Amino acid sequence: MSTYDVAVIGSGPGGYVAAIRCAQLGLKTAIIEKYATMGGTCLNVGCIPSKALLDSSHHYEDAIKHFEEHGIEIPGEVKINLEKMMSRKASVVDQTTKGIEFLMSKNDIDTYQGVGSFKDKTHINIAVADGDDITIEAKNIIIATGSKPASLPFIDIDKERVITSTEALKLKEIPKHMIVIGGGVIGLELGQVYKRLGSEVGVVEYMDRIIPTMDAAQSKELTKVMKKQGIKFFVSHKVNGVTRNDDEVVVTATDKKDNEVEFKGDYVLVSVGRKAYTDGLNLDAAGVHTDERGRVAVNDHLQTNVANIYAIGDVVKGAMLAHKAEEEGVFVAETIAGQKPHIDYNLIPGVVYTWPEVASVGKTEEQLKESGVEYKSGQFPMRALGRSRASGDIDGFVKILADKKTDEVLGVHMVGARVADLIAEGVIAMEFRASAEDIARMSHAHPTYAEAVKEAALAATEDRALHV
């Protein structure tokens, strides 16, 4: 029987990063993955393939709508080869997952393909598809089994016409009319992909606005822009049923006035969030507890009620984000090695990869009001930037919220081109407890989108933005 200092169950962003950091710290490490490829949801059926399709569909939209204004003329009709687009996406996924395999080998991490389950708190059984089961022993175990798409109890996901994000990433045809249930990150991103490719898209959202956990100004701006792109929104609608009749799917809902309404399409994408995945782990054998939502219960050190067993990522409480899982993977590895790491969950950024992109870190304006914090706000429109006019990406803004007395930055909220990358500036500023004036006094290259951050900081400091 092989014995390890650490065994990681699950090879998603949290799991594989935890394994690498453990190995870097000199711990003998194993990782267990049930699927044939490593990388978990993010690399296989989440972050990576969705961004590949977002980029491909963006290129197509630019070709049919925007190239001409740049003086680029394409003879003949621009056509979509969906099969080739999906093939490119698969190639990106393949390259990325193979990269994880390389990293495991490079760091001398033993990999096992099979379903890992607890025999007790230090032994894991690995059910191998074509062969005898394997048992390994580990002093410490990290659960990193991630999440699966959630649904509503009355919806039958048939994976053909009533689908989740997993199926939406590999459709063989472009829907005529896609109904998206849920106005969060996943629904908006995939809804935009298929709208660009020619689908009629309607988004049905239970709350009174899309991306309801983000700053209300971001929701308002993204709604305005996506409506211009042709996507329809039905907020404050409670879905009551989904029925399929051959190639037609009907969604029934109740609006805010209690009127019954129907939405008809040929595909329904159910994107109402995700749920922790612990199936097959046999947690009871190790004595590991879960909470009321089926997540593995952990303390502030990401330690379960069993001292040598930890859990990270989507399988525990908190935002279901790949980079949050990575931070937790490093945190646990360093904790096991006797170090004193830290994570500030307030500084984990959130991003929506639509176009324009949406990104946030820290407190929203609504949260500051609710908690009674006195704050000031500085906002700068992207359309006032030379760089935005040059690229044609004039939608959006940067908003900085700062403490009214100390000027410390409390939140940064952006909508615009490349703000998924730009939000790192806000994270760094807040990590070092910068003031809005600190940011305002820093030189930002011209012309760049990043100038909007400086201008928003100027606006928050003394209402002295230079270019509005």
Q: Is 454 flagged in the annotation as binding?
A: no
| Predicted pLDDT at 410 | 98
The span from the CA of 41 to the CA of 274, in Å, is 11
Q: Is 108 annotated in some ligand binding site?
A: no
CATH superfamily of 3-148+275-343: FAD/NAD(P)-binding domain (3.50.50.60)
Q: Do domains 3-148+275-343 and 162-272 have the same CATH topology?
A: yes
State how far the Cα of 374 lies from the Cα of 367, in Å rounded to an integer. Answer: 11
pLDDT of residue 123: 98
Domain 347-462 architecture: 2-Layer Sandwich (3.30)
| Residue 181 pLDDT | 98
Which SS3 state, helix, strand or coil, does residue 178 take? Answer: strand
pLDDT of residue 383: 97
Q: Is 457 annotated as a binding residue?
A: no
* Cβ-contact 278, 294 below 8 angstroms: yes
Which pLDDT tens digits describe the chain residue by residue (468 residues)?
899 999 999 999 999 999 999 999 999 999 999 999 999 999 999 999 999 999 999 999 999 999 999 999 999 999 999 999 999 999 999 999 999 999 999 999 999 999 999 999 999 999 998 878 999 999 999 999 999 999 999 999 999 999 999 999 999 999 999 999 999 999 999 999 999 999 999 999 999 999 999 999 999 999 999 999 999 999 999 999 999 999 999 999 999 999 999 999 999 999 999 999 999 999 999 999 999 999 999 999 999 999 999 999 999 999 999 999 999 999 999 999 999 999 999 999 999 999 999 999 999 999 999 999 999 999 999 999 999 999 999 999 999 999 999 999 999 999 999 999 999 999 999 999 999 999 999 999 999 999 999 999 999 998 888 898
Q: Look at residue 166 in the predicted model and tell me its pLDDT.
A: 97
Task: Using DSSP, state whether 465 is helix, strand or coil.
Answer: coil
DSSP 87-151: HHHHHHHHHHHHHHHHHHHHTT-EEEESEEEESSSSEEEEE-TTS--EEEEEEEEEE---EEE--
Task: Tell whether 262 is in a known binding site.
Answer: no
Catalytic position from the list 59, 66, 301, 446: 446
Write down the domain spans for the chain.
3-148+275-343, 162-272, 347-462
* Tokens standing for residue 139: 């002093």
Q: Is 145 annotated as a binding residue?
A: yes
| Domain 162-272: which CATH number of 3.40.50.10420, 1.20.1060.10, 3.20.20.80, 3.50.50.60 | 3.50.50.60
Tell me what pLDDT residue 130 has.
Answer: 80
pTM assigned to the model: 0.97
pLDDT score, position 464: 86
Is 70 labelled a binding residue? no
Instruction: Identify whether 342 is a catalytic site residue.
Output: no
User: What does the pLDDT read at residue 468?
Assistant: 86
Q: Report the amino acid identity of residue 338.
A: G
